[in-house]
Structure 1
Amino acid sequence: MNPLLKEVERKGWSRRVFLRNLLFSAGSVATASWLTACGGGSGGSGGGRSAGFSSKFRTIGPLLEPNDDGIRLPEGFTSRQLAVFGEPPVPEVDPFFIWHSDPDGGGTFRTDDGGWIYVSNSEARDLTTIRDQDPTGIFRRNLDRDTAALLPPFFGGGVSALRFDALGNLVDAYPCQRGTTTNCSGGATPWGTWINGEEIWDGKMFECSPLRDGGEAVELPCFGRKAHEMVAVDVEHRAIYHTEDIDTDT
């Protein structure tokens, strides 16, 4: 178990009970005070939007022509390129950590120094995907999961992180989860971890820490084996909502 989850359990939060029953244990939510998912509130009472709901995006103005990054933004907004596939995001810290391909689901986490961590899934399909989806056995000679875990991130899925200081400077980049494939979407938990799943027919769900020293990812068998998508934690109603991506042609 990673240090973050140990701290959660030390404070009285029963992660095992929650993940076994997909319900919160009795009592208040005990969240690590130094690392929480940004915007992790319950969203108000009633389980839905209030009558007076109005999106803040409605008032930011029309989109302008594409900027130098090829992105159309409203007036007053800017963009910044942070990581490029096949290149180290922070070479002065770790020149050997290469950013992954096929970024998909992501989440942000506040840190106690006023900064934040952004985690990103890689939906890259490695050779284990071909093998696992081939009932004929033609591709059985391809890599197994243990071997795939040793390959660079652009050969498979997984989760990586970018860490920022309080001024928004990119100060670190590192892997959070390796040895998985086709990691699609996921969801941040109130206790400061990232749940994500493999979008293949017998995919698994995992929970990892966004911290550089957060420990190994934990498999979550309670979510079953299927093409996983995202999760959302409903604190007020003690539930997790989980979606899957079903191929209607098979």
Structure 2
Amino acid sequence: MKRRNFLRAAVIGAGVTAFGNTLSSSALAAPAQNGPSPYGPLGAADANGIQLPAGFTSRVIARSGKQVASTGYIWHSAPDGGAVFPDGTGWLYVSNSEITPGGGASAVRFDANADIVGAHRILSNTRQNCAGGAMPWGTWLSCEEIDRGFVYECAPAGPDSAAVQRLAMGRFKHEAAAADPVRKAVYLTEDVPDGCFYRFVPTTWGSLAAGTLQVLKAGTATSGSFTWATVPDPGGSPTATRNQVSGAKRFNGGEGLHYANDTAWFTTKGDNRVWQLDLANNTYELAYDDSLVTNGTAPLTGVDNVTGSASGDLFVAEDGGNMEICLITPDDIVAPFLRVTGQSASEITGPAFTPAGNRLYFSSQRGTSGSSSDGITYEVTGPFRS
């Protein structure tokens, strides 16, 4: 099988575009195969029910329906997609709420010592806010995962009244978003079985008020070249955006999305794949497919949210499966990084690194009870590779 260019992703927190990290590249074979984790095997579950490699620890940051530390703010239900933003000497972790009605998004503020010093609402009264993405100018896109859903641009520091509906980015069953500062575009996934992959090209980079929505066109194979075509009616009525352009490539349930160094990776839950787009050369191929793992049982199932670390590792959260965050290394190895025990009716959401790259945030959307009102948001600290 031909080798692919797995570009090293220096995504600390919400993305390379948010923190301006330097990237390098390396090549390896595709798709990724089962192998030993660079962090070693998982240990026994800790007091929070999380199995981690040696040297790593976890703590609970927030619980749905409960006050966040001593802030007085009540954490939202069904925490989903998330990102980290610098905030003075500290940072903010932003998290969506995938419920209807209500939805929206909240943020937790940390100081330089990682102590929680505040929490607040950044988006209110929306529906089924699933994933989204950080923009390089410091805003959070919160996306509605409903038919003809909206994209909302939010200020991580709040207030929720600062959030703006971005109609030009199209109305469809939105999932994730990622900014590409080189081509000055924002990529978008669509969570339906016959969904498409989109890019939005703003009229003015740095403003999402106006621009052109395009859809990826390609053949039916799992690799090849692609082009972009303009979606005539981004409003998606009466014809859905995915059905307006002949030859638009279909993806089976678009989920998480991550951009770094001329490459976009995104997951599709219907066929348990991680796709890679080479945006410099307009080609695509598979980075991972559980049905193509040839050396034992595929460790990564239920692919969902995805982020990256300074070492070039992709961290892919599972929706169901055995509740793991798995990593795909630049050496083409896929392996578990952590496992959440006792929460089999939940899913892992919102993985995001701090600017320093030594803390990883994520949530268990439905916690131990399997209810949206029982979500738990965690922090993992340890010797992440750089």
How big is the shift at 1:66?
1.1
For the structure 1 residues 201 and 38, does the alpha-carbon distance in structure 2 shift closer, same or farther, using more than 3 Å as the test?
closer
Alignment gaps of 5+ in structure 1: 1-35, 127-155
SS at match of 1:116: strand
Corresponding residue number in structure 2 for 1:31: none
Which residue in the other structure is 2:204 paired with?
none
Is 1:102 aligned to residue 78 of structure 2?
A: yes
Per-residue CA deviations over 1:103-139 (Å, capped at 9, x if unaligned) read 11000001222x110000000122xxxxxxxxxxxxx
Matches within 5 A, 1:12-91: 37=14, 39-40=16-17, 41=20, 44=23, 50-51=26-27, 58-91=37-70
Q: Which residue of 2 aligns with 1:117?
A: 92
Choose which of 178, 181, 202 in structure 2 pairs with 1:235.
Answer: 181
Kindly indicate whether residue 117 of structure 2 is the aligned counterpart of residue 171 of structure 1.
Answer: yes
Partner SS, residue 51 of structure 1: strand
CA drift at 1:229: 0.5
- CA displacement, residues 153-180 of structure 1 (integer Å, 9 cap, x when unaligned): xxx2100000000001011011000011
Say yes or no: does 1:189 pair with 2:166.
Answer: no
The letter of the residue matching 1:172 is: G
- What is the CA–CA distance in structure 2 between the aligned matches of 1:179 and 1:43, rounded to whole Å? 38
Q: Partner of 2:62: helix, strand, or coil?
A: coil
Q: Within 2, Cα distance between the matches of 1:72 and 1:110?
A: 28
| Alpha-carbon distance in structure 2 between the residues aligned to 1:246 and 1:90 | 37
**Aligned-partner Cα distance in 2 for 1:178–1:212:** 11
Tell me, what secondary structure is at the counterpart of 1:83? strand
Mapping for residues 208-247 of structure 1, pairs under 5 Å: 208-213=154-159, 215-247=161-193
Map of 2:103 onto structure 1:
157
> 3-state SS of the aligned residue for 1:222?
helix
Q: Which residue of 1 aligns with 2:366?
A: none
- Tell me the matched-pair count: 175
Shift of 1:70: 0.6
Change in Cα spacing, 1:229 to 1:42, as seen in structure 2 (3 Å) is farther
Contact 2:123 2:160 in 1 (8 A): no
More strand by share: 2
Per-residue deviation, 1:42: 7.8
Alignment-mate amino acid for residue 61 of structure 1? G
Matched, 1:198 2:144: yes
C-alpha spacing 1:118/1:85, structure 2 compared with 1 (3 Å): same
Higher helix content, 1 or 2: 1
| Identity rate, percent | 45
Q: 1:32 maps to which residue?
A: none
CA distance in 2, matches of 1:121, 1:42: 25
TM-score, structure 2 as length reference: 0.42
Q: Is the 8 A contact 1:64 1:75 kept in 2?
A: yes
